[in-house]
Structure 1
C-alpha cells in the first residue's frame, strides 16, 4: 500500500494534538496561498525580497 503510512499518537492530550493539527493546516494554507500567488504572477526575485527585508530592519 504505497499511499498509506502508519501514524502513532502518544498520549499528548487533546490540546497538544489540536495545536499540532492547527499548525499543519495553517502551513498547508500558506503553501496554497503561495501557489495561487505564483500562478497569478505575484512573485518576487530573491534579491528584491532581500532588499525589502533589509529596509524593514531597524
Structure 2
C-alpha cells in the first residue's frame, strides 16, 4: 500500500480522536469555541486531503 495514503488515513484518525476527546471533556457545546472549530476543521481538512489524493491517484486504489 502507498505510504502517503496510509499517512493521510492516519491523519484523519488522529484528528477524529482529538476531536472526540475534546467533545467528551466539553459536552453540550461547552469549552473554547475556537478550539472546537479548529478540531472540526482539522478533521474536514484531513478528509479533503485524502479525497484529493485519491482523485489524483486512482491507479493506487
- TM-score normalised by L of structure 1: 0.49
Relative contact order (C-alpha < 8 Å, sep 6+): which is higher?
2
Of Structure 1 and Structure 2, which has the larger fraction of its residues in helix?
A: 2
Q: TM-score, normalised by structure 2?
A: 0.47
